[in-house]
Amino acid sequence: MSDQVTLTLPDGSELEVQRGATALEATERIGPGLARAAVAAKVNGELFDLSRPISEDAEFEVLTFDSEEGKHVYWHSASHVMADAVKQLYPEARPTIGPAIDDGFYYDFDVPEPFTEDDLRQIEQKMQEIIEAEEPFSCERISKSEAEELFEEQQNRYKLELIDEVEDDVVSIYEHGDFVDLCRGPHVPDTGRIKHVKLLSVAGAYWRGSEANRMLSRIYGTAYPRKQQLEDHLERIEEARRRDHRRIGRELDLFSFHEEAGAGLVYYHPRGAMLRHLITEFATNEHIRRGYQIVRTPHLVKSNMWETSGHAQQAYPMYYTDIEGQSYGIKPMNCPGHVLVYKSHTRSYRDLPIRYFELGTVYRHEKSGVLHGLLRVRGFTQDDAHIFCRMDQLTEEITGVIEFADDMLRAFGFDEYEVFLSTRPEKSIGADDVWEQATEALRGALKANDLTWEIDEGGGAFYGPKIDIKMKDALGRLWQGPTIQCDFNLPERFDMTYVGADGEEHRPAMVHRVVLAGIERFMGVFIEQCAGEFPMWIAPVQVKILPINDRNFEYAETVAHRLRCEDMRVEVDTESGTLGNKIRQAELEKLPYILVVGDNEEEAGEVAVRKRGEGDLGPTKLEAFIESVRPETAPDSRYCALPGDTS
């Protein structure tokens, strides 16, 4: 056996190193700068600690913080440093799990008293001491019994529970300094690789997300190799807080939640209800223009329907109730109802495609720990549609939905998005060949539309694969948006047929799709995208009129009436106070236009115009104002279907 091994680098070049050389030594051969920036390596696709030896020829890739996998390793290592700091400061703390997440990490601890914001400063300072010590991370493989003995000494029942679930006879532990943790790794070579850390917040979290378990104290943090990267991240966090739809919802009086009436259920206030109405009205009209038929289905459905659909067997988060000894499920999805509408008549191949659309309100038993404003609720409405078509129509129908989704997102200002092809999950129904056929149909449509996409392994629905379109907001964050699911399973399970040209019965293909997704979630994302500054066409209040004196109220109402005749949404400020205070308050409401009317404006038939973002535009005739803003009161026609367009 040769004492050399050959490493094939990502660019196809080869590097020979001594057999048994560590990944770090191999990296140093490539370049000292890369070795200083490296956080881990991939050897034949497997993640490696840089201290791990290489014993055979392999494909070799060095991971730095600039890669997604590198960030994951870096932040996971930082979570271990944080857990070490916590244990040094609070010896009674029991670490549980501490993964890397998007933009950082967290670690959950069982502690007598929850951590406070003040505690974070001490923990952060202790982390810095550990980082400056440059303590090496080392990995050791030990037997499960040895690991159990180790964590029994630490009286950490959480680690013991995790060890018990490991199927192998051995587990891996990582150490740095005096801290040891159950972990698969990999980690950075030493704590000194972690440069700039910031602990962000504390929160409560149930062990394993179950309300039946103990409440733990969770610390969120982030870390970056360069100080400027951390500062940029903190600026993004601050901007995200400024745009937080929950804060804006309170400030603009759009919606509220009431724990005494039930968590995760939205109460829309007048302006919020108007915003929701405008969004759903626009969506409905666009569906009608594209050849969809509106249907409505009940909220309660007998439980056997959910058994036929497979929702019940998949332990879907449903609510059930009993009526006269018969079990009913409150619908979490609209698809079975649309199937029944389809089956109410004999269908011919000439009838297809059939496109059913419903603003369907559904309910799901989400755990309280995951509820998050409008983004995660228990009751929400989907712009839901199901298309029933022949196999030869499938690609064209999927293409039509892709184009529809693109138009809808751009109409609301989402000009960028990423596309994913989500494949069969572990828990699913149907035969492999049916899934492969459905997946190929979606893949074919993506290719036909020259789209770039990534594979999301196991991300499909339990009844079929799907195309997921994730919209990118003003901060570069991705949000789940339109989905297009190809389903050959439910037509089979519900025995759906159509009569073909040959006079025989055939199964239709079924496409489940939303082009905005849950209206509540879309509203939350849209509020954050706009930071509450809604475009004129969709603003709940487009114009606010401020009379200077009580004697100008009548003229203000006259102006309001004229604008309402033009279908503008108008409010008149009837509060007492100085004009300056009224203007400041109206500007805080982020309204597109403010019209000030006093004696001079009333006498001249004018309004003094203030525009959001531009300030005082001066007086103008009322009719001239109407004509000037008319183009802003309608959505961009480029993203609306032409009458009669059914593509």
| Position 488, amino acid | F
Q: Which of 245, 512, 513, 544 is catalytic?
A: 512
| Locus of tokens 């009844």 | 463
247 is annotated as an active-site residue: no
466 is annotated as an active-site residue: yes
* Residue ranges with strand state E in 303-349: 319-323, 326-330
Q: Which of 382, 393, 529, 542 is catalytic?
A: 382
565 is annotated as an active-site residue: no
CA distance linking residue 373 with residue 291, whole number of Å: 34
> Which tokens in the block code for residue 494?
């519900």
Q: Which of 71, 87, 386, 544 is catalytic?
A: 386
384 is annotated as an active-site residue: yes
> Using CA atoms in the order 575, 576, 581, 582, what is the torsion angle rounded to 10 degrees?
40
87 is annotated as an active-site residue: no
CA distance linking residue 593 with residue 504, whole number of Å: 62
Closest-CA residue to 490 (of 299, 310, 292, 303):
310
> Which tokens in the block code for residue 612?
């959001």
User: Beta strand pairing status for 498-499 and 478-487?
Assistant: unpaired
DSSP 8-class letter at 354:
E
CA distance linking residue 608 with residue 610, whole number of Å: 7
Q: Are 471 and 454 in contact (CB under 8 A)?
A: no
Show the DSSP H helices in 469-620 as ranges: 489-493, 519-530, 553-565, 579-588, 599-604
| Locus of tokens 């910031």 | 198
CB contact set of 121 (below 8 Å; sequence gap of 6+)? none
Strand partners, 546: 596
CA distance linking residue 578 with residue 586, whole number of Å: 12
What angle, 0 to 180 degrees and rounded to 10, lies between the N-to-C axes of helices 432-448 and 394-411?
60
How open is the CA angle 151-155-157, to the nearest 5 degrees?
Answer: 75
Counting Cα atoms < 13 Å in the Cβ hemisphere of 488 gives: 18
335 is annotated as an active-site residue: yes
Closest-CA residue to 59 (of 26, 20, 25):
26
CB contact set of 482 (below 8 Å; sequence gap of 6+)? 401, 405, 408, 409, 468, 469, 513, 514, 515, 516, 517
> What are residue 5's phi and psi, to 5 degrees?
-125, 150
Q: Which of 384, 406, 468, 487 is catalytic?
A: 384
* Residue 475, number of CB atoms within 10 A of its CB: 12
Strand partners, 176: 179
Say if residue 579 is exposed, middle or buried (CB neighbours under 10 Å; 0-12, 13-18, 19+).
middle
> What are residue 313's phi and psi, to 5 degrees?
-70, -25
128 is annotated as an active-site residue: no
Q: Which of 331, 347, 364, 590 is catalytic?
A: 364
CA distance linking residue 154 with residue 179, whole number of Å: 11
Say if residue 41 is exposed, middle or buried (CB neighbours under 10 Å; 0-12, 13-18, 19+).
buried
Strand partners, 206: 215
Q: Are 574 and 545 in contact (CB under 8 A)?
A: no
Q: Which of 119, 218, 276, 335 is catalytic?
A: 335
CA distance linking residue 253 with residue 629, whole number of Å: 25
CB contact set of 459 (below 8 Å; sequence gap of 6+)? 420, 422, 423, 425, 466, 468
CB contact set of 196 (below 8 Å; sequence gap of 6+)? 223, 224, 225, 226, 227, 229, 230
Just list the catalytic residues.
335, 364, 382, 384, 386, 466, 512
